[in-house]
Amino acid sequence: MVGRVIDPAPTPTGETPLALTRRARRMYRLLAERYPDAHCELDFRTPFELLVATILSAQTTDVRVNSVTPQLFRRYPDAHALAGADRTDVETIIASTGFFRAKTESLLRLGATLVEEYDGQVPSRMADLVKLPGVGRKTANVVLGNAFGVPGITVDTHFGRLVRRFGWTSLEDPVKVEHEVGELIPRKEWTQLSHVLIFHGRRTCHAKKPACGACPVARLCPAYGTGETDPDKAAALVKDGPPR
């Protein structure tokens, strides 16, 4: 009996999986050339500081987080100090980041859990990180990739918006996006891919008015024309840094 040939699953743009993979990798290379200095824009010195800063970054900007963490880390430099922190004091320090009561609750519980279960150290495995208070896969991937050198894809709002515009995926669920995009780009590049796309989303491929005419991957992007296509007008929309 002759087996039936099964067609590969359709891609969002109707390309073959091979064509999509080649296009995605070409786009990534071009964007990496545009942003050779792409990096995590949260200030940190230790895995603990990065973990705390990433939790604080929910629903606010990295710039805002970086404005409050110096004082927070002077007062509470490690998990042991955070576990015994004064709730009102923490709330006062981080108030400008928004949702400060919920974030304070997560931080106090985080400190206690790290002390009780991990001797005050931040674990370096995804399975352990996602069990910590206030930590999901996005936060875990930030910490793994930037503090421990373990490749991970960070699906924040910028990353998700761009990969859907690029036609790399049509999915909305961050975990499914992470896995689908991970099939297109070599694992060793996942962390830097996240930085590069987040840089591009903050600087050029904006949510409301992308600068299509100033985009290095315009000719490869199925969403070209969503924003300003005139080169001079588009260049004026490009930002030098993250939103403040």
| Residues with catalytic function | 138, 156
Q: Which amino acid is at 70?
A: P
Alpha-carbon gap, residue 206 to 199, rounded angstroms: 10
Return the structure tokens found at 111: 């400190």
**15 to each of 5, 34, 78, 167, 224, how far by Cα in Å?**
18, 26, 49, 10, 17
Residue 231: how many CA atoms within 13 Å on its side-chain side? 1
The structure tokens listed for 244 are 């403040």
DSSP 241: S
